[in-house]
Structures are given as C-alpha cells and as structure tokens.
Amino acid sequence: MRRAWRAFVDRTGWTPPTRGEIATVLKAALAASLAWALARLVTGTPEPVLAPLTALICVRVSAHASVRIAIQRSAAVVLGVLLALAIGDAVGLNWLTVGLLTGASLAVALLILRLPRQAANQMPVSVLVVLAAVATQHSSDGWERALNAVLGAAVGATVSLALPASRVASARETFDRLGTALADALKAMATGLREPWTAKETAEWRRRARVARNRLVADAKDAVGNGREAAQWNIRDRRHVAELGRYEDALPRLERTAIGVASIARGLDDDAHASGDQPLPPMAAMSALLEAVGDLLQVLVDGFFGRATETDAQVGFEKVRLRREPCAEAASRRARAAPDETRVLEWMTYTAVLVQIDRLVDDLRPPPPAGAI
C-alpha cells in the first residue's frame, strides 16, 4: 500500500489539501443539505435534486470570489438552470440539441450579457447538468423545479456570503507551501550533486520541480487572486488588506522562481539522459551554490511570516555570492577545456545552471525603494 501510494503521488503530483480547500468541501455539503431541506419545505417536491445541485454550483464558483464576481457567477448559474428548465421537457437529448444548447447558452452569457469568461462558462455547464436531472424527473411541475433552482442558488449564495473563505489563511498556507517546496527542490538537487548522479536522481528532481511549478503555483494563484479587492467585502479579511497586498505583489516573483527551478532540474535531467548509463561526476561547488540558494529562498519565504529578519536575508545573499565565485571559476576552466569532447557536456551543464541561478537570485532581490534610480 505504501508503494502504491508513493506511485500515485509521483504520477499525479498530489499534495496535501489546504484548510481552505477542506472548508470549501464542508461549505458545499452544508449548502446542499440546507437547499434540499428548504426546497422540500417550500415546494413539497419529494426529491428536489435541482436545489442542492444549484446550491453546490453557486458555492463552488463563489469560493474565492469577491461579492461582485460571486453575484455574477451565481446569476449565470440561475440563468442556465432556468433556460434548461424552460426547454428540458420540450427538447430531447441528442448530439445535435446538446451542441446547440451548449453553444447558445455560452453565446448568450459571453457575447450578449458580456459576463466574465469564468462566469460565462457556468451557463452551459448548468444547462447540461440540469437537462440530465430533468430527463430523469418528470413528477414535479415546471414552476416547482424553477423554484427549487432559485432556492438552491439563494442558499448557495447565502452560505458563501455568511461563511466567506478567508483569503488570508489560504494565501499564507499556499504561499508558504510553494516557497518551501521550491527551497526543498533546490536542496535535493544540491544533495544529489555531491555524488555521481544519473537520470534516476534527476527524474525525481524534475518531478518535484514540475509539481511546484504547475500544481503549487496554480494553488497559490487561486488562493491569493485579487485578495485586496475581495477583502473589502470579507469581514474576516478586511483588516489584512496590506498582508494580502504583499502576497499579490510577491507571487509573480515566486512564480518566476518556480520556472527557474524547473529549468535547472530539466537541464540536469536532459544532461543525465544524454550521458546514457554513465554516471556524471560530482559538482561540489555547484552543489554548495544550489544549497545556498535554497536556504536563501526559505529565509525570504520565512520573512513573510515573521520567522526570519532582513539581516538573515542579507546573510543569505552574501552566502550565495561567496559560493558563486568558485562556480564561475569552474565554468571558466570547463570552457577552456571544452575542445576536449569529454568536457563539453560538463561545461554546458555548469554554464546553463549558473545562468539560471543568476536570473533566479536577481529576481529574488528586493526591489529598490520608490523613486530610486
């Protein structure tokens, strides 16, 4: 079971869920339960499936949205549901009608109502899901189904507004997780380069960097989002606008860092495969530099949460500078030895990794004060 789970994690890039994701699941379950109970009470429908369905969609599309965007998306859901109900009994489901209804509903939302793309996408989804529900349920009148859908949307919107997702908590957790994962990926490469290394080791480095670049960056962007705007309508986050602003400003730099780390891992992996089954020699100086960059990145991330000081960051940058010098000298030696075909790959590897590290470290440096030249 342990090996199977490890294989699953390796292949899917699975990461532990955040508290915000768990909260979204619990809110969806609560909204669906309340919508079902309310629809049964108001309409008397024995199985008001449309109510929890609409509530679920509204809660999901409003999970991290501001009030304005949440209302737009909920309105798109209701429009889609009502459109599906209006034609569900008259039109049979087949390849032609499904295509026409999907295209028409998306065109209305995107081209006529001019809803944002994410909000507009909810209409065709709602149409298809509701058509499927209506096709299996003909015992209730059309007005009852429409009322169930409206009640479900109201419950979903109410739950989202009454229990708003805290962007601060999600931003902290996803930002910290992304920065730590990138630092750990750099340190893993540093550890591996102390010994002869092969494609077996580089494949793991590349996997870890890819998970950070794809999964964890996406999670952080979804959690941080337009945090300052959303906080104006969220009583839990209103006093954390400045903190959310720091995450918004720093996230693009952390995303570029993830791209740089992935580029380093990919370059090492490509070189390992190019060497065939022959292990590549240790790179002690480069190992020390990667370790210093990983430590620096962890210090900068810790600084966002008060776990490190500006002095710690300055020490980290200085350590990177000192460990870069022997790497630059080594790159120069390898360049002079490049005519020897056995040294060409080693020189190219060293130089490419050094260039990526320079870009990464330069981007991690704090920007100059406003007005500075």
CA distances from 267 to 7, 12, 70, 95 (A): 24, 22, 43, 47
Query: Can you tell me which residue has the tokens 């009030």?
Result: 67
> pLDDT, tens digit, for every residue of 194-220?
999 999 899 999 999 998 998 889 888
Secondary structure of residue 197 in the 3-state scheme: strand
Residue 10's pLDDT is: 66
SS3 per-residue string spanning the chain: CHHHHHHHHHHHCCCCCCHHHHHHHHHHHHHHHHHHHHHHHHHCCCCCCHHHHHHHHHHHHCCCCCHHHHHHHHHHHHHHHHHHHHHHCCCCCCHHHHHHHHHHHHHHHHHHCCCCHHHHCHHHHHHHHHHHHHHCCCCCCHHHHHHHHHHHHHHHHHHHHHCCCCHHHHHHHHHHHHHHHHHHHHHHHHHHCCCCECHHHHHHHHHHHHHHHHHHHHHHHHHHCCHHHHHCCCCCCHHHHHHHHHHHHHHHHHHHHHHHHHHHHHHHHHHHHHCCCCCECCCHHHHHHHHHHHHHHHHHHHHHCCCCCHHHHHHHHHHHHHHHHHHHHHHHHHHHCCCCHHHHHHHHHHHHHHHHHHHHHHHHCCCCCCCCC
Residue 186's pLDDT is: 96
Asked if residues 190 and 92 have their Cβ atoms less than 8 Å apart, the reply is no
| Per-residue pLDDT tens listing for the chain (373 residues) | 888 877 777 666 677 777 777 877 888 899 889 999 998 888 887 778 778 877 877 776 555 554 555 566 667 667 766 766 666 556 666 777 778 778 877 887 777 767 666 666 667 776 777 666 666 555 556 667 778 878 888 888 788 777 766 677 778 888 999 999 999 999 999 999 999 999 989 999 999 999 899 888 988 887 776 555 555 556 566 677 777 778 888 889 999 999 999 999 998 998 888 877 788 888 888 999 999 999 999 999 999 888 999 999 999 999 999 999 888 887 777 666 655 555 555 666 778 888 899 999 998 887 654 443 3
Intra-chain end-to-end CA distance of the chain, in Å: 59
Secondary structure of residue 75 in the 3-state scheme: helix
Secondary structure of residue 139 in the 3-state scheme: coil
Residue 246's pLDDT is: 84
Calculated CA dihedral for residues 175, 177, 179, 185, nearest 10 degrees: -160
> pLDDT, tens digit, for every residue of 24-33?
788 889 988 9
Length of the chain: 373
> pLDDT, tens digit, for every residue of 233-267?
565 666 777 777 788 888 899 999 999 999 999 98
Q: How many CB atoms lie within 10 A of CB 289?
A: 28
Secondary structure of residue 280 in the 3-state scheme: strand
Is the four-CA dihedral 298, 300, 306, 312 of positive or negative sign? positive
Q: Distance between CA 1 and CA 19 in Å, rounded?
A: 26
Kindly state the tokens that stand for 292. Answer: 């210093």
Q: Which domains does the chain have, with CATH numbers?
A: 2-162 (no CATH), 167-364 (1.20.58.220)
Secondary structure of residue 315 in the 3-state scheme: helix
Burial 151-160 (b: 16+ CB within 10 A, else e): bbbbbbbbbb
pTM greater than 0.75 (yes/no): no
